[in-house]
């Protein structure tokens, strides 16, 4: 537990440092963090699925994971919001290339084959898009990095306490994918996400120029919390498929980069879309 806490504290310190660089130096600095998450996260997914993927697919996915964020940053400078569309189109082209190659080479395709081509790159492109928002980009990123940890923390403690009350008989959420997750923990996580959204609104209200009420931020927190938990289960699905416990070892006590950001990536997609709309 001690190692886990120290490792988690280091992760929070790094995120905080990049937020400070974004606010007091230039927003582009935050893209360095996003690039690292995308490149290393893609590497972990490629490595985890190498048993069920061809060498061609692995190389294609890893190269895409490395170049897609820098490509977005350059294109965003010249083209603005169209850059995101272009980068996602590029990733879709890599998926098409995978399907064509698989049909020619093996006459079949695998669901797990195209996962590293779009995960986590497409979702982290949305985080880069949030960082590029002229107005409220800081608030969007803050929601992404606050709601997910609040969800995980509340889910953990709520599930643990309720399981003790029920003497180990608490109803499981999805036992085949994640045996330790409980329904009570999931509900607690929803409250945690809503609280995270509310706190961001209350603390940073002067910085928010959306003109929306507190309730909207609570709902954003609630829905982003659902997606955070979906992200957790999705990664558990991948890990169960290939029979591994963690996606990596870069964060002692937590696992790999993807073990830490699996929920954050899914929440990024929703929060970016919401901020584009409002």
Domain limits at 54? 2-277
Q: How far is CA 33 from CA 30, 143, 149, in A?
A: 5, 16, 17
The neighbouring-strand residues paired with 150 are none
163 or 128, higher pLDDT:
128
Other CB atoms within a 10 A radius of the CB of residue 253 amount to: 14
pLDDT at 249: 85
pLDDT at 253 over 80: no
Contact 234, 174 (CB under 8 A): no
- How many domains are there within the chain? 1
The per-residue pLDDT of the chain, averaged, comes to 90
Q: How far is CA 259 from CA 91, 92, 233, 242, 264, in A?
A: 23, 25, 11, 15, 10
> Binning pLDDT at 50, 70 and 90, where does residue 107 land?
low
Note the pLDDT tens digit of each residue in 31-68: 999 999 999 999 999 999 988 888 888 999 999 999 99
pLDDT at 96: 85
Note the pLDDT tens digit of each residue in 260-278: 999 999 999 999 999 988 8
pLDDT at 108 over 70: no
pLDDT at 179 over 70: yes
Q: Provide the 3-class DSSP secondary structure of residue 277.
A: helix
> Binning pLDDT at 50, 70 and 90, where does residue 93 land?
confident
pLDDT at 106 over 80: no
pLDDT at 81: 65
> How large is the average pLDDT for residues 108-123?
85
pLDDT at 195: 97
Which tokens go with 179?
């045996």
Sign of CA dihedral 235, 124, 114, 223: positive
| Integer Cα distance of 159 and 22 in angstroms | 36
């Amino acid at each position: 537990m001690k190692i886990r806490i120290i490792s988690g504290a280091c992760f929070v310190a790094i995120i905080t440092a990049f937020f400070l660089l974004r606010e007091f130096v230039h927003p582009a600095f935050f893209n360095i963090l996003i690039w690292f998450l995308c490149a290393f996260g893609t590497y972990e997914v490629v490595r985890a699925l190498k048993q069920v993927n061809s060498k061609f697919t692995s190389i294609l996915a890893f190269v895409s994971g490395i170049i897609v964020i820098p490509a977005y940053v350059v294109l965003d400078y010249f083209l603005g919001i169209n850059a995101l569309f272009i980068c996602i189109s590029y990733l879709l082209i890599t998926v098409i290339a995978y399907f064509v190659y698989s049909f020619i080479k093996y006459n079949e395709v695998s669901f797990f084959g195209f996962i590293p081509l779009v995960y986590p790159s497409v979702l982290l492109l949305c985080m880069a898009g949030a960082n590029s928002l002229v107005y409220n980009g800081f608030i969007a990123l803050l929601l992404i990095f606050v709601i997910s940890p609040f969800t995980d923390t509340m889910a953990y403690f709520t599930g643990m306490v309720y399981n003790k009350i029920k003497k180990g008989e608490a109803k499981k959420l999805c036992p085949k994918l994640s045996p330790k997750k409980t329904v009570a923990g999931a509900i607690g996580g929803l409250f945690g996400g809503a609280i995270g959204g509310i706190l961001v609104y209350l603390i940073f209200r002067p910085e928010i120029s959306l003109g929306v009420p507190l309730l909207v931020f609570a709902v954003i927190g609630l829905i982003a919390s659902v997606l955070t938990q979906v992200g957790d289960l999705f990664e558990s699905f991948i890990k169960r498929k290939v029979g591994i416990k963690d996606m990596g070892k870069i964060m002692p006590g937590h696992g790999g980069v993807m073990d830490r950001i699996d929920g954050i990536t899914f929440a990024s997609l929703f929060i970016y879309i919401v901020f584009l709309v409002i």
